[in-house]
Amino acid sequence: MHTGDLAVMDADGYLNIVGRIKDMVIRGGENVYPREVEEFLYTHPAIEDVQVIGVPDARYGEETVRLGQAAPGRRAEPGGRCGSSAPGRSPTSRSPGTCGSPTSFPMTVTGKVQKFVMREVSVSELDLGDADRTRTA
């Protein structure tokens, strides 16, 4: 059965879903699963909701972008380079390179986040068209 889900089996034989094949980011030859990074970022008290996507990068092939919504009573982080949310707890390769604070995420009628739309918007807003052409050339 091919669902497009990525899973890891633990020592007891249980499967843990770690993301979707289409969402996986290949950064400098390393597979980064957005769901894994999102689960880590959800542990931060200032984050209400977060989505991690991959965008083209001329140096690494792809770079991660964190789009997060602040928890009630917390201040949203301005766009630009991300600061370290929890130093030493997440490998540098998995730390989002760029951050944004949208007021909402694009959703399907069934309530799923449309990451492909967020990727297109981020590529446009960050002016990464040249990086995308470099990667595919």
Q: According to the model, what pLDDT value does residue 51 have?
A: 93
Cα–Cα distance measured from residue 67 to residue 52, given in angstroms and rounded to the nearest whole number = 6
Give the tokens for residue 128.
């990464």
Task: Indicate whether 82 pLDDT > 70.
Answer: no
Task: Indicate whether 77 pLDDT > 80.
Answer: no
Q: According to the model, what pLDDT value does residue 12 have?
A: 95
Q: According to the model, what pLDDT value does residue 35 have?
A: 87
**pLDDT tens digit string along 95-130?**
667 788 888 899 999 988 999 999 999 999 888 876
Let me know: does 76 contact 102? Beta carbons within 8 Å.
no
Give the tokens for residue 67.
């789009």
What percent of the chain has pLDDT above 90?
28
Q: Which residue has the tokens 């130093």?
A: 87
pTM score of the predicted model = 0.73
Q: According to the model, what pLDDT value does residue 132 have?
A: 55
Average pLDDT value for the chain: 80
Beta-sheet strands, E only, within 1-137: 5-9, 15-20, 25-27, 30-32, 47-57, 61-70, 80-81, 98-100
Q: Which domains does the chain have, with CATH numbers?
A: 24-136 (3.30.300.30)
SS3 content of the chain, % helix, strand, coil (to 5): 25, 35, 45
Among 9-18, 71-80, 111-120, the least confident range: 71-80
Among 32-41, 71-80, 83-92, 112-121, the least confident range: 83-92
Q: According to the model, what pLDDT value does residue 20 have?
A: 77
Q: Which residue has the tokens 């068209």?
A: 129
Q: Which residue has the tokens 């918007």?
A: 121
Cα–Cα distance measured from residue 68 to residue 77, given in angstroms and rounded to the nearest whole number = 8
Q: According to the model, what pLDDT value does residue 14 have?
A: 93
